[in-house]
């Protein structure tokens, strides 16, 4: 009985660490922009801008101080996404 448990656990670990596992929606920069950045102003205020990574970092950090709900990790994901998608 004990062996079965160990095998089941091992299988779960293998499955959950497979590279093909879908990325969680919460980790997606586009989703973060949609969900956390369109409450106070239209999303287009962001998507119409072109900024270098440092400037996006500064903007997102300012928005966080204004009240945007973002963890440090989400902030980094979003800054990476914005820097890649809306570059000058």
Cα 64 from Cα 76, distance rounded (Å): 12
Nearer to ligand HEC, 46 or 83 (CB): 46
Nearer to ligand HEC, 9 or 34 (CB): 34
Residues touching ligand HEC: how many (CB under 6 A)? 17
Pattern 12-51, binding to ligand HEC, x per CB under 6 A? Answer: ------------------------xx-xxx---xx--x--
Structure tokens at 31: 């989703």
Cα 11 from Cα 34, distance rounded (Å): 35
């Amino acid at each position: 009985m004990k062996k079965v448990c160990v095998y089941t656990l091992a299988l779960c670990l293998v499955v959950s660490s497979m590279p093909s596992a879908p990325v969680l929606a919460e980790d997606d920069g586009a989703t973060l922009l949609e969900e956390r950045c369109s409450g106070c102003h239209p999303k287009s205020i962001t998507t119409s801008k072109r900024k270098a990574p440092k400037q996006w970092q500064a903007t997102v950090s300012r928005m966080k101080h204004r009240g945007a709900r973002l963890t440090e990790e989400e902030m980094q994901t979003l800054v990476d996404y914005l820097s890649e998608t809306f570059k000058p």
